[in-house]
Amino acid sequence: MTILHATILNLSSSLPYVFEFNPQEISSDKPINRYKAPNIGGASKRSYFTGFDNEEIQFILQILKFDAVTGVIPDCEYFSQLREPDAGIIGIAGSFFGNENYPPPKIAFSWGLSMIPLVYNVLDVKIKKTHFRNDGIPNRAEVSLSFELDTENPLNKFNQIAKKAAVYAASVSSVTNEVRQLITGESKEFMSGI
């Protein structure tokens, strides 16, 4: 059995990073914005929908390099550059003449979230190095990543079609399972620890 590993692709440098250990948990958040109008003396307030924020995902990546001469230092540098200004290939020459306000690079990532890799803006990268050797080189790192979906990217537009298909598939599957259980008398109970 082949185990596929998740990959992050820095879209500015085109350099991928293949995970040694896949994330065990990915949380996502997509705030729905509402405005509550003041209601002086009333029993309730009227709520007005004002839009959505972009979806954000967060996960923690574990890196272990006990046999490497440089430990996890190169790996940490890969993720550290995701939180640095990125002028791109064309803008790098101009960056020598001043402190330009370049955003960090965009990344492509897919693991348990979509059918195709999606493009994200980097929101936050936290790096914690541990298990230092006598020479001060860390052998382990924990990288906390937070990304925001770039909704204007064409890959993400194509993914909307796949998501719609998945919604219909989930609906049909749930109805089919319920009908089968009614006919056969089977009952599926939730099993903890799965």
User: What's the pLDDT at 77?
Assistant: 95
The token pair at 70 is 């440089």
Residue 34 confidence (pLDDT): 85
The model's pTM: 0.73
Sign of the C-alpha dihedral computed for residues 151, 152, 155 and 159 taken in this order: positive
pLDDT of residue 50: 82
The residue among 53, 58, 2 whose CA lies nearest residue 27 is 58
pLDDT at 170: 83
Q: Which residues contact 82 (CB under 8 A, 6 or more apart)?
A: 10, 104, 105, 107, 122, 125
Q: Report pLDDT for 88.
A: 66
User: What is the pLDDT tens value at each position of the chain, 194 positions in all?
Assistant: 556 888 999 998 889 999 989 888 989 898 888 888 877 777 777 888 888 888 899 999 999 999 999 999 999 999 999 998 877 665 555 555 555 678 888 999 988 766 678 899 999 999 999 999 999 999 999 999 999 999 888 877 777 766 777 787 888 888 888 888 888 877 666 554 55
Q: Please report how many Cα atoms fall inside a 13 Å half-sphere around the Cα of residue 189, on the Cβ side.
A: 2
**pLDDT confidence of residue 124:** 95
Q: What is the pLDDT of residue 193?
A: 52
Query: What letter would DSSP give residue 47?
Result: E
φ and ψ at residue 80, rounded to 5 degrees: -65, -40
Name the maximum alpha-carbon separation found in the chain: 74
Going by C-alpha positions, the residue among 46, 68, 64, 28 that lies closest to residue 143 is 64
**Which residues 6+ apart lie within 8 Å of 47 measured at CB?**
34, 35, 36, 37
pLDDT value, residue 190: 53
Provide the token pair at 166: 């998945």
pLDDT at 92: 56
